[in-house]
Amino acid sequence: MNDRLRLPDLVTDLSLPYRLRAARGRAAGLLLLMHGVGSNETSLAGFLGLIPDDVAVALVRFPIEMAPGAYTAFTVHFTADGPVIDAEAAESSRQTLARFVGELQSRTGIAPARTLVAGFSQGGIMSAGLALTRPDTVAGFAILSGRILPEIAPLIAQPAQLGALDALILHGDQDDRLPVMWAERSTSLLQQLGVRFEQKRYPARHEITLDMAQDFAAWVRRRLAAVDG
């Protein structure tokens, strides 16, 4: 089997468990990928074949175990009035993620200006939560079929601190778990905050399609190339 296609080993000595595909040669950047509720880090391993070899990719596992092989950053219940979350757990996980990002940057020697965070569903939620509250830790974030938690509003950094961030919002028009209105709310908030972003919609449900994955990978390449530009 090609070593670049083999699933990296699980590492458990930092604040969060993760699997790291190290960069080949001089690292162009660090990309952290985070999974959805009830899944685990291996669910996003398919991205490894799309992200350039000179980018280190960390597949991150959330801290709360729901069942064997199933993890979450916080519990959520979907009601007629929308998602209801465990806000205390969400905040604890946000703080843990911020600590973990710093630890991983120290381990890999890759700076915040070359670090991107992204994820599917809850993974996108946590990516946005980290970037908008701690823009000093990353250069950009991507939300794939996710949303921005209203609960983080008091913690969002000042617009002047958000000026260097870039964001990507990808969402399916037929998403029945997190309807497309959440993508609309995210774009509206980013406009208010003055955060640069790109957005794209797809004829998809609550999922990552090949088109979405390819568009995401292209964004990663553009964003990291811009660091040297």
CATH code: domain 10-228 is 3.40.50.1820
Q: What's the pLDDT at 228? A: 67
Q: What's the pLDDT at 229? A: 54
Residue 211's identity, in one-letter code, is: D
- Angle, in degrees to the nearest 10, between helices 122-133 and 87-108: 70
Q: What's the pLDDT at 2? A: 42
Q: What's the pLDDT at 76? A: 82
Q: What's the pLDDT at 188? A: 97
**Per-residue confidence of the chain (229 residues) as pLDDT tens digits?**
344 457 999 999 999 999 999 999 999 999 999 999 999 999 999 999 999 999 999 999 999 999 999 999 998 887 777 788 889 999 999 999 999 999 999 999 999 999 999 999 999 999 999 999 999 999 999 999 999 999 999 999 999 999 999 999 999 999 999 999 999 999 999 999 999 999 999 999 999 999 999 999 999 999 998 876 5
Q: What's the pLDDT at 60? A: 98
Q: What's the pLDDT at 82? A: 75
Q: What's the pLDDT at 5? A: 58
- Residue length of the chain: 229
- DSSP-derived letter for residue 81 is T
Q: Edge-to-edge strand order for the sheet containing 115-120?
A: 10-11, 18-21, 55-60, 29-34, 115-120, 140-144, 166-172, 196-202
